[in-house]
Structure 1
Amino acid sequence: MWSAAGLAGAMGLWAYAVGHTDVGKLDDFGLVTALHPAFWAGLAVLTAGFWCTLVNSRRRHPAWAPAYLVGLLAMERATQAVLYPTPLYAWAWKHDAVIDHLLTAGRLQGSDALGDMAVYDQWPGFFAAQATLVRLLGVDSAAQFMAWWPLVSSLMLLLPLLLIYRTFTEDRRLVWTAVWLFYVANWVGQDYFSPQSVAFALHLGVLAVVLRRYAAPRTPDARSRAAVWTVVLTLFVVGIVISHQLTPGMLVICLAALFCARRYRDRVPLVTTVVIFLAWCLTAALPFLSATMPDMLRSVGDIGGNVETGYGATPTGTGAITTSWAARLLSASVILLAALGAWRQPVLRHRALPLLLLALAPLPMFAASSYGSEMIFRVLMFMLPGAAFFAAAALLPQVRTLTATELNPRTRQRRYTWLPLAALLAGTLAFVPSYSGKDRISYFPPAEVHLVQQVFDRAPAGSLVVAADRNYPLAYADYWRVDHYWFLDDSRAHVDTILRNPAATLATDMSAVESPARAYLVLSQGQYADSEMNGLLTKAQLDRIRASVAASPLFERVAGNEAGVAYVLKETAR
């Protein structure tokens, strides 16, 4: 009765909050300050109700824990889809453009036709699957459903997580607390519409199969079914390898770490993964790897540089700095809790040693590459399944492994009810600023989408679209027929030249376009937000560029609304 009331109350508060939240004017704290206070109350009620169902698990139906967890995913992963009328994240819009290309071209193409964007045709698994889904659903593009992908991809992780955790314990409190901590600590944001979201789910699927079906000693019956599980494992690995560059490397490291444990000496998973990975790298992915290998080799061993490119960014403003530190503290807290849990629970540490190895295995990737300034975030994400398990153990007075079935009642003290609840509540609340604190950058209102769409609707083939940076919707639209240039990617010296004489410098940069193609300049809300919050250019500097172009006889305004403006370079200026 109380479990139902708590869940219903939390969902009711969430529904009320969503109906009374205005996202029209986001500040530097993103969605955090825009949310109605009822949202925070609902999240607190949900967390408290979840913990109470675990503390009194013998008097509660086992379905309540997963029910509360689904409620958590709805509040944390679906709120944005409900509130925002357009999909978040410039990267999601980029991936939609890749799918549009596959649907338009009907085949994969190389760098001679696509330039740098050909890399997506060399890892087409995710995009080909989504293109098929677009056709099956009969929608115009993936933009019509990709806003809900964070919820879908998060649900995809649930089954493999449960299988992994239940390999080492039958304690429902430990399993569900670990799953809860995993979700609230996974703020990195790779659950959006991306190949990484699916590759990570498949990665956990491979680990679940290996942990449950390849442990030694194996019974004769298990050996007879090994071929079936090898086929399943192979399908998962192929799905990973053809979809994402980084995940296969992470999987190889994790499987190698498990192979070092005495219980997982079967070579089949590791050898299968390595063979499939190398086969793809030496065939379909070879053009990309050949071009990028020198840079990749230069970054090997440069741990400081690889980490600095991620956490070395310079967010500006109180909101950006605060949300950045909230994310760091959340990750650090979970890692410290995991260390405490491993220290406090020696029996569990021995029994679940493979999970401890999986938590540590991604760390060497710091020395491998910066991965476009994101390696530190990806390492944290791949560490989480193992780290969350031991962090959950730190919150429980005593846990039950598969070989220890009784709990000592003397450990059931009052402090073990309230202190863990406080920690769980703090982590759950901290997820929101960590995950949604940069929504001012990530959200593009319908007016901005309409503005950019107007430009591409009128741009002839071979045209050039120029912008401050790529943080705007449809930034990669029609990339197979229209070129793109973002002047903040240039050297600081050239950016300073643009700031000194914006209109003339930009006109020179755009003048190489040959008729009948045209050169367009787009300045929009998303570019302003990204530039200001990441310390690139100030609003005053961007306004100066906009005013100079508006007053210049070299440019003509072709579109504009409250979200931005677009200009075309006049024919006489070329």
Structure 2
Amino acid sequence: MSVTLRQARQPEEGAPRGAGAAPPAVPGTGRPVLLGLTAAMLIGTALFWLPLGGVDMDAIGGHGLIAVLPVATLLGAAVLVLTFMATLALPRPHRLLLSVQIGILIMSLHGVTLALEPVARFSTVWQTAGFIEYVERTHTVSWFLDARFSTPGFFAFAAFVLKAVGQHDIEPVLRWAPPVTNLMYLLPYILILRVLRATWRAKWFAAWLFIAANWVGQDYLSPQAFAYLLYLYFLAILVNWFRHHDETTRRAGRRRGREPAERSGVLWRLYDWLFAAKDPGELPAPKVSLRDQRILLFLLFALLLVGTAAHQLTPFLMTAACGGLVLMRRCSLRGMPIIAGVVYAAWVSFMTVGYWAGRKNEIFGGLGKILTNFQQSTGGRIGNVDGDTQQIQYLRILIAAVIVVLAVAGLLRRRARGIDDRVALVLMLVPFASLGLQNYGGEIGLRIYFFMLPAACLLIAYLFFPAPFDAPAVRAPRVRPSGLARLRTGTRRHWPAVAAASVFALLMAGGFLTVRYGNEKYEQVRRSDVKAFDVMLDNYKTGVVGVVWLSAEDPNLAGGTPVMPWSYREWERFNYTAVIADRNNPGNIAQIVQTLKEQGPGGFFVTTRSHEDFQVLNSGLAADYGVRLRRALASSPEIATVFADRDAAVYRLKAPPADPVLPTPKPTGLGLRSSPWTPAGLIYLPVLLMVLLARELRRLRLFAGSPGTALSPADVRRRLLPLTVLAFPLLIAVVAVVIERFVFIK
């Protein structure tokens, strides 16, 4: 017969002091130990940062930054990891020291390039700057310039904030965004951790892992980073203030008519392990006033609206996570998944029509193709890449697989202790639902890993520290050991778990530095890369600049954009045309010359060292291809060198044709379109949302009664019936309008 957690802890929490064995005294931590840990932390920080000034960034190869980092820096990282784990081994939590250690971890892992590179890394970062600059300058968007203009919420918000604070140079913001963003991620994550039934070591280790395992590079200034922060706050509010108040021990599974004494054997033990009484993995839900819950409900709705307007994938996962929590009885807002789904479907149908009209096969062709989407986001990302770069890709897949396996092991270990971690289970599984959407440009696997990370880190922490609560402390004896002896006394019980977790932490920190910066040879951005685009704008002040760039493969299959800080300002003035490289003869520039002539007087050919390295490592071009190409361009009698240095070069025709001269396109907004049923949908949609919100407010009011007047579920459903009846036909009408728009609008 299984024993519940509640029964197991009765002697400790509810029994008189004389009943059972008294819990051991928890000694304090002497000042010398804390000073030693602080000194080790400072030494590790100095070892990590001081040698970075001598790093030769030009020596980076296919293995990325890890190959050129000084040994002292790597040693400093190890010291920082071990210092944090030693702090976890102390008898009680020292929150200030632990917080400072995690802050240093964030700066060291996510901010290391601040000491190595002169400008913000990652070319996509500069595209975000271009979106923000366009919105700030034009006060609108243009749907045909880029699909991301269909969800412009983040760009508008960032433009407003930058203008409000008077920050005209966005480059410092781009540089500091990764460490600041990861620090901001911790705030809602802490709110999620606080409701879980776990020891302080498990919670702090989960927070540490959440930083060390987040190597996917989605923390730069971007809609995804902003929406992910909203996603975490959305979950934190749900699990903190909208849980059921009857989350007690779950009823045992069906007995099949047998007495407990007759239930023996492997199958019955397995059955009990799966379905017998379990204690919730979350602390009891706190009592919240009706007024506070109403305010939080509207805050959740606001997070949904802003998240939907900011990013295309995150609101789907908001909806799915909320629905999963409702189904698993860890969220009392039963109507919130419907509200979220309506908001998401309406935004896609009405506000992104300029993008999906004419691209239905491209956008929706991946629906349901789970295996294909998974393959394209894993093995499909490796392709014909260089051997060293291929090893980095395989290591990323290995780390993701290890995270999943250890998370499952942590979940099973907790379940073996009679604990039902439903919140963690839902948040772990929900991201995998996005596999059925599309391959997301080959990145759906990375996004799944990114969104499951909060739950996975928690479950891995449970693998090492599975206890549901800390042993209660009693008054320690008057004569206590001091110094190292006191430390040994406090760590005797848990030092094996801390030691095992320390090994894993060291591997994670090393893995982070390897895979996060494994593509740094071409992901770094140099000053000349940015200057190249300024030069083109300065040399052609009116009309569209026709940018010609070299691609080793079909650009429609290989991403379609150069690995450069393209369009970081005056987005609408750039048009990009790829030229397929002649692999056998880098000196063959005939196609480049012909394409420049087709661009007219605004035609420029641009190349950078980072882009050339990308073509070498990912597409198999010869290592000296860029050098030979530049030499051929510079010696051609038809080509003039506009700008050239070691890192970037811009060329144009000496005698460009007078035509074509393409005028700069005007802003077009979101490209909204109508259908016969659209006017009705615009009326039904806000009414439906108001009715659904009113229904949830009514539900909150019904559950806010005193315990003596609590209503049964049947009474609640009966009192909600009028609003349910009103919402149902409105919901059917809105769904019909959404479907009609997808069918009618071509």
Measured in 1, the distance between the counterparts of 2:532 and 2:229 equals 36
Q: Are 1:554 and 1:572, in contact at CA under 8 Å, matched by a contact in 2? A: no
* Alpha-carbon contact 2:368-2:436 (below 8 Å) kept: yes
| Residues 381-409 of structure 1: per-residue CA shift (max 9 Å, x gap) | 1111111111111122x42249x9699x9
User: 8 Å contact 1:348–1:401 — kept in the other structure?
Assistant: no
Spell out the pairing of 1:140-155 with structure 2 (5 A cutoff).
140-155=168-183
* CA contact 1:518–1:569 (8 Å) conserved in 2: no
2:115 counterpart (69, 77, 82): 82
Whether 1:345 aligns to 2:414 is: yes
Is it true that 1:64 corresponds to 2:116 in the alignment? no
Q: In the alignment, what sits opposite 2:557?
A: none
What are structure 2's unaligned runs of at least 5 residues? 1-34, 246-284, 475-489, 551-560, 659-746
Match of 1:98 among 131, 134, 141: 131
2:46 paired with 1:18: no
Does structure 2 retain, via aligned residues, the 8 Å contact 1:74–1:151? yes
Q: How does 1:68-467 map to 2 (within 5 A)?
A: 68-111=101-144, 114=145, 117=146, 119-217=147-245, 221-311=288-378, 312-313=380-381, 314=383, 316-346=385-415, 350-396=419-465, 398-401=466-469, 412=493, 414-460=495-541, 461-467=543-549
Q: State the secondary structure of the residue aligned to 1:416.
A: helix
1:69–1:523 CA distance, 2 compared to 1 (3 A): same
Match of 1:508 in 2: 594
Q: Structure 1-normalised TM-score?
A: 0.90
Residue by residue over 1:431-465, the C-alpha shift from the partner in whole angstroms, topping out at 9 and shown as x without a partner, is: 10111111111112223332332222212422201
Q: Give the helix-richer structure, 1 or 2.
A: 1
For 2:596, the aligned partner's letter is: M
TM-score (norm 2): 0.70
* 1:567 corresponds to 2:643: no
Cα drift, residue 355 of structure 1: 1.1
Paired AA for residue 425 in structure 1: L
Distance 1:285 1:349 in 2: 47
8 Å CA contact 1:101–1:478 kept in 2: the answer is yes
Are residues 406 and 324 of structure 1, via their aligned partners in 2, closer, same or farther at CA, if it must alter by over 3 Å? farther
Contact kept? 2:128, 2:221, Cα under 8 Å: yes
Note if contact 2:548-2:595 (Cα within 8 Å) is conserved in structure 1.
no
Residue number in structure 2 paired with 1:491: none
Deviation at 1:121, TM superposition (A): 2.8
| Alignment partners' CA distance in 2, 1:284 and 1:301 | 24
Conserved in 2, the CA contact under 8 Å of 1:149 and 1:191? yes
Contact 2:408–2:459 at 8 Å: present in 1 too? yes
The higher relative CO (CA closer than 8 Å, separation ≥ 6) is in: 2
Distance in 2 between the 1:401 and 1:511 partners? 72
Name the amino acid aligned to 1:296.
I
| 1:18 Cα deviation after fit | 2.7
The residue type equivalent to 2:218 in the other structure is Q
The 10-residue stretch of structure 1 (206-215 or 473-482) with the greater mean CA deviation from structure 2:
473-482
Secondary structure of the residue that 2:640 maps to in structure 1?
Answer: strand
User: 1:86 Cα deviation (Å)?
Assistant: 0.8
Task: String of CA shifts for 1:223-253, please: whole Å, max 9, x gaps.
Answer: 4432111121122222211110111111111
Deviation, structure 1 residue 48:
0.8
Cα drift, residue 341 of structure 1? 0.8
Once the two structures are overlaid, the 10-residue window that deviates more, 443-452 or 78-87, is 443-452
Using a 3 Å threshold, how does the CA distance of structure 1 residues 309 and 405 change in structure 2: closer, same or farther?
farther
Cα distance in 2 for partners of 1:501, 1:417 equals: 59
Aligned to 1:486: 578
Kept in 2, the 8 Å contact 1:342–1:349? The answer is no
**1:376 aligns to what SS in structure 2?**
helix
Change (3 A) 1:330 1:221: closer
Q: Which amino acid aligns with 2:652?
A: V
Deviations 1:245-271 (A, max 9, x none): 111111111112112102324224323
CA drift of 1:109 comes to 3.0
Separation in 2, partners of 1:454, 1:572? 17
| Structure with larger Rg | 2
> Helix, strand or coil for the counterpart of 2:516?
helix
In structure 1, give the amino acid aligned to 2:572: W
Shift of 1:338: 0.7
Provide the rounded CA distance (Å) in 1 between the counterparts of 2:86 and 2:410: 21
Structural RMSD (CA): 2.6
Give the Cα–Cα distance (whole angstroms) in 2 for the partners of residues 4 and 351 of structure 1: 38
Counterpart amino acid of residue 209 in structure 2 = L
Instruction: State the shift of 1:79 in Å.
Output: 1.2
> Hey, what's the Cα distance between the residues in 1 that align with 2:417 and 2:522?
43
The alignment of Structure 1 onto Structure 2 pairs a total of residues equal to 557
Output the CA distance in 1 between the equivalents of 2:460 and 2:287: 36
After superposition, the Cα gap between the structure-2 partners of 1:302 and 1:542, relative to the gap in structure 1 and judged at 3 Å, is: farther
Shift of 1:180: 1.2
- Give the Cα separation in 2 of the matches to 1:533 and 1:204: 36
Take 2:603 and 2:50, find their aligned partners in 1: how far apart are those partners? 47
**Per-residue deviation, residues 472-493 of structure 1 (Å, max 9, x unmatched):** 12355433122122335xxxxx
SS of 1:341's equivalent?
helix
1:537 aligned partner: 621
Distance in 1 (alpha carbons) for counterparts of 2:287 and 2:190: 26
Q: 2:356, 2:363 within 8 Å by CA — same for their partners in 1? A: no
**How far is the alpha carbon of 1:411 from its aligned partner?**
9.2
Distance 1:157 1:322 in 2: 30
**CA distance in structure 2 between the partners assigned to 1:220 and 1:50 by the alignment:** 35
- State how far apart, in whole Å, the 1-side matches of 2:428 and 2:171 are: 35
Letter in 2 for 1:194: S
Corresponding residue for residue 492 of structure 1? none
Taking structure 1 as reference, are residues 366 and 349 closer, same or farther at Cα in structure 2, changes over 3 Å only? farther
Deviation string 1:263-306 (CA, Å, 9 cap, x unpaired) is: 32422432332232223223222221334332232212222321
Report the 3-state secondary structure (helix = DSSP H, G, I; strand = E; otherwise coil) of the residue aligned with 1:539.
Answer: coil
The 3 A distance-change label for structure 1 pair 303 and 250 is: same
Mean Cα deviation higher: 233-242 or 21-30 = 21-30
Conserved? CA contact 2:239–2:330, under 8 Å = no
User: What does residue 609 of structure 2 align with?
Assistant: 525
SS at match of 2:405: helix
Deviation at 1:212, TM superposition (A): 0.9
Higher mean C-alpha displacement, 269-278 vs 559-568: 269-278
Does the residue aligned with 1:556 lie in a helix, a strand or coil? strand
Q: Partners of 1:557 and 1:303 in 2: how far apart? A: 49
Measured after TM superposition, the shift of residue 534 of structure 1 is 1.0
Counterpart residue type for residue 418 of structure 1: A
Contact kept, 8 Å, 1:465 with 1:521, in 2: the verdict is yes
Q: Distance in 1 between matches of 2:472 and 2:315?
A: 37
Q: What secondary structure, in the 3-state scheme, does the structure 2 residue paired with 1:453 have?
A: helix
Equivalents in 1 of 2:169, 2:352: separation in Å?
Answer: 26
- SS of 2:643's equivalent in the other structure is strand
Quote the Cα distance in structure 2 between the aligned partners of 1:61 and 1:484.
Answer: 55
Is the 1:199–1:243 Cα contact (8 Å) retained in structure 2? yes
Look up the SS of the partner of 2:310 in the other structure.
coil
